[in-house]
Structure 1
Amino acid sequence: MRKVYPRGPLSYFRRSKLCSILLSLSFILFCFVFVLYQNGSGVDVSPYDSPENQEKYNEQDLNYRKLPPEINALDLFGSRRHNRNLQHLYSKDLFDEKRNKDLNTVINIRGRNKMKSERKLVSKSRQRGFFNVPKKTMIENVGDSPSSQEVTDYYNFEGYRPTISDESTETLEGPSKKLPKVIIIGVKKCGTRALLEFLRIHPEVKATGPEPHFFDRYYDYGLDWYRDLMPETNADQMTIEKTPKYFVTKEVPGRVFNMSRDVKLVLIVRDPVTRAISDYTQVASKRASMKPFEHMALSDNHTGLVDTSWPVIKIGIYAKHLEEWLRYFPLEQFHFVNGENMVKNPSEEMFKLQDFLGLRRYINDSHFYMNDTRGFPCIQKTGSKYPHCLVGTKGRKHPHVDPNVIKRLQDFYRPFNKKFYQMTNIDFGWP
C-alpha cells in the first residue's frame, strides 16, 4: 500500500533526506559555536600568569597586573581569562577603580561576621585570664586590708599589660570624642545620678547622658562604638560616664582593664539595708502585683533566713563585688563616696571627689540648695534663678518595713560591711 504524506508547505522538506542532513549539520555547528563562545577558545592555552604570557604582556606594554588573590577567590568577574579580557576593555584607571570598589564592598560584607566572631573569641579569652591579667585575687596575695605599698608591688610585675590610651589618636585641632578617664561604676540606688549631675557643674567635666552599658551589654560592638557615645571634649576637659550595673557584673572589671589600666573608678555607697529598700521601692512602683518587701527579703519567715539569691539583697554585699575589681585595679584608683553624707553635706563629698580627680575645687556650697520636701539637695547652677532638682522618680517615699526584718538584714550585712571597711580603710558607720 502506498504511503501517503500530509500536504502542506513543509511536506517536501520532510520527504527530503538532504534537508534532514543539513538540519543536523546546522545543529552540530551551532553547538560547536556555543561551546567556543562559552570557553573563549577551543584550544588549550597556558594560564594567564605563566612566564610566557607574562613576557608577552610586558612586551606589549599592556600594564598588566595580576589581580589580588581575594578577587580570584571570590570570582567577582568570572573566570581568570575573563579578568584578563577586562583589562583590555577598560582603561587602567577605570579598571582599578571598579576592581577596588567591588573588592572592598564584597570583602567588607563577607568579612563582617568573621570579624565579629573573632572579637567574641578575643573577649572570651580575656575573660579566662589571658593577656597578662593576674589570675589570683589581690586579697589572696596581700591580705584583707592591703596597704598602698603592697598594692603597688603587687601590680608592678613583669609583663603587666600597658594602657590603651587615646592620647596617641587625639587631634590637636578642636574638640574630639575620647574614651572616658573616669567611670562611676555604682552602686545602684545609692545616688549615682545625683553624683553625676553634681559633677556636670564643673566646667572641666563632660559626661554622657544615658547610661552606655557598654561593658555589660554591648561589649561586642567595640571601642569605636563606645567612643562615639562620648561627648566631645577639649584637651583640658575630662570625659566621665556612669553605669551602676558595672559594679556587680563579673566580666566588667577585666573588660575595663583591657581598655585602660589608668582609668579612675568612682563608687558611691550607702547603708545596704536602706539601699535594698530603695531598690525594692523602684521595682514595686512598676509592678503593682509585687509581694511585700518582707516576703521577698526572707526565704523563710520562721527561721529568718535571708534570700541571698534575690538581686536586691545580693547587690548590697559590697565586699564580694569589690574583690573582683581589686583583681585588676589597685585601691588607689578607687574613690568611695559616702551616700548618706552626700545628702547631708554634698560640698564636702564633692571637695574630696574633685581632689581625687585632679580638678580644681569649683563645686562648693553655693551650688546646692536643700529641698526640705524631698529631703535631697538640688543644684543651684551659676546664672540660673531657680534650682535644678532631680526628676520626680528620684527620692521616692519608702514603704513601711517590719523592724524585725530590718534588724535581721542588719545582722546579715554586718560581717560583709566590716570586711568592706577593711578593704577600703573607711568606716562608713552603718549599723
Structure 2
Amino acid sequence: MRTSVMAAFLLGLFLFVSQPPSVPSRPTVNEAGASSKTVDYEQRRASSIQNQTQTAVHPNGTRQQLPQTIIIGVRKGGTRALIEMLSLHPGIAAAESEVHFFDWEDHFEKGLQWYASQMPFSYPHQITVEKTPAYFTSSKVPERIYKMNPATRLLLILRDPTERILSDYTQVFYNRLQKHKLYQPIETVLIKNGDINMDYKALNRSLYYIHMQNWLKYFPLSHIHVVDGNMLIKDPLPEMKRVEKFLNLSAEINASNFYFNKTKGFYCLRNHGRERCLHESKGRAHPQVASPILAKLYQFFHEPNRKFFQLIGRTFDWH
C-alpha cells in the first residue's frame, strides 16, 4: 500500500516537473500598432514624470506642469498663429514664449523640473501647450521628447516649402535691416553657380520628408497632426476644428472667434469681446523673385513634397 502511494507521488512529481511553463498570450495590438500594455505603460510613465516634476499648487488650484502637447514647428510655418488660435479654447493653457528646452543644450541640461517651471499655471482639466518651431528640424529633439513622455501629442504646421523659404528670408532680412547689418539679395542665397543653393539653411528646413522620417522613428503618425498652414491663413476655422478633434477637446472654437482684417489682409482673433491681431512682423510682404528662379524652386521641391505626402498619407495644395 505504502509502496503504491509512493509510486503515485513520484509519478505525479515527474509529470509536474516535466510540464513546460505556460506562456502568456501576446498582448492585443490596436490599429495604431501599439499594444494595450504599451499604451498603459506610456500613460503610467507620463503620470510618474508629471508627479516628479510638478511645482507647488497655486491657491486657486492651478499648477505648472510638463506640456502634454507640443507645437514642434515648422519655422515660418504659422506656429504663432496656431498657438494663439488654440489659446481661444478654455481647455488650453499655452506657454507665452518659445522655451527651446529640447534643442538648446544649456536649457536641456537644467532638467525637466526647470522645463516645467517655464510652463503656464493650468487647471487639472487643461492641456498645457508649448511651441518651439526649431524642434522639427533638430535631429536630437524627437528622442528627447519621447523619453520625457512617449504619449505626447505633437502639432506640426507646414506651408508650401517655397513660400516658407521666402518668409524665412524676409524675417532674416528685416532683422538685419533693423540692426543696420548687411544683407544678401534673395537671388544670391537661392542660386549658386546657376543651380539651387543646397547650402542655404532655409532650403533645408523646407525638406520636410527628411525631418519627418526622424520623428516617425519615435512617434506613430497617430500622435502627430499636420496643420495646413496655407489654409490656416485663408480659412482658420476648419483647421482649428481638426486640431480640437486631434487633442480630444470639446468643440469650443467657432466662427465668431475670427474676423478678417482688411487692412492687415489676414484673420484676427476675437474672444469674449476682446479683439487682437498677430504682431506686425507677421504677414510681411515677401520679396519679388524672378519667375525663372521660382520655377527652379517649384521643380526642385516636387520630389521632396511627393515623399513627404507619401509619409503622412495626405497631400497639400502646394506647387
Q: Classify the TM-score, shorter chain.
A: 0.7 to 0.9
Alpha-carbon distance in 1 for matches of 2:225, 2:32: 18
- Give 2:248's match in structure 1, choosing from 334, 342, 358: 358
How does 1:223-302 map onto structure 2 within 5 Å?
223-288=112-177, 289-301=182-194
Alpha-carbon distance in 1 for matches of 2:251, 2:223: 20
* 1:188 aligns to 2:188 (yes or no): no
CA contact (8 A) 1:151 1:331 kept: no
The corresponding residue for 2:210 is: 320
SS of 1:332's equivalent in the other structure is helix
CA contact (8 A) 2:62 2:122 kept: yes
CA contact (8 A) 2:42 2:149 kept: no
CA contact (8 A) 2:32 2:220 kept: no
* 1:214 aligns to 2:77 (yes or no): no
The corresponding residue for 2:309 is: 421
CA contact (8 A) 1:294 1:401 kept: yes
* 1:307 aligns to 2:197 (yes or no): yes
Shift of 1:287: 2.0
* 1:163 aligns to 2:45 (yes or no): yes
Counterpart of 1:258, as a letter, is K
Query: Rg bigger for which structure?
Result: 1
More strand by share: 2
Alpha-carbon distance in 2 for matches of 1:381, 1:161: 33
SS of 2:45's equivalent in the other structure is coil
**Higher relative contact order, chain-length normalized (CA < 8 Å, sep 6+):** 2
The corresponding residue for 1:124 is: none
Alpha-carbon distance in 2 for matches of 1:340, 1:382: 27
Instruction: Flag the 1:156–1:238 CA change in 2: closer, same or farther, 3 A.
Output: closer
How does 1:116-127 map onto structure 2 within 5 Å?
none
Alpha-carbon distance in 2 for matches of 1:280, 1:151: 40
Task: List runs of 5+ in structure 1 lacking aligned partners.
Answer: 1-147
- Give 2:238's match in structure 1, choosing from 325, 348, 352: 348
Please, what TM-score do these two structures have when normalized by structure 1?
0.61
The corresponding residue for 2:296 is: 408
Aligned length: 277
Counterpart of 2:220, as a letter, is P
CA contact (8 A) 1:162 1:261 kept: no
Please, what TM-score do these two structures have when normalized by structure 2?
0.82
Instruction: Flag the 1:268–1:225 CA change in 2: closer, same or farther, 3 A.
Output: same
Question: 1:245-299 CA distances to partner (integer Å, 9 max, x unpaired)?
Answer: 0000111111101100000000000100000001001101122421111110111
Shift of 1:371: 1.4
Aligned sequence identity (%): 38
CA contact (8 A) 1:266 1:335 kept: yes
Shift of 1:374: 2.3
The corresponding residue for 1:15 is: none
Shift of 1:367: 0.3
The corresponding residue for 1:92 is: none
Alpha-carbon distance in 1 for matches of 2:207, 2:291: 21
Shift of 1:149: 4.2
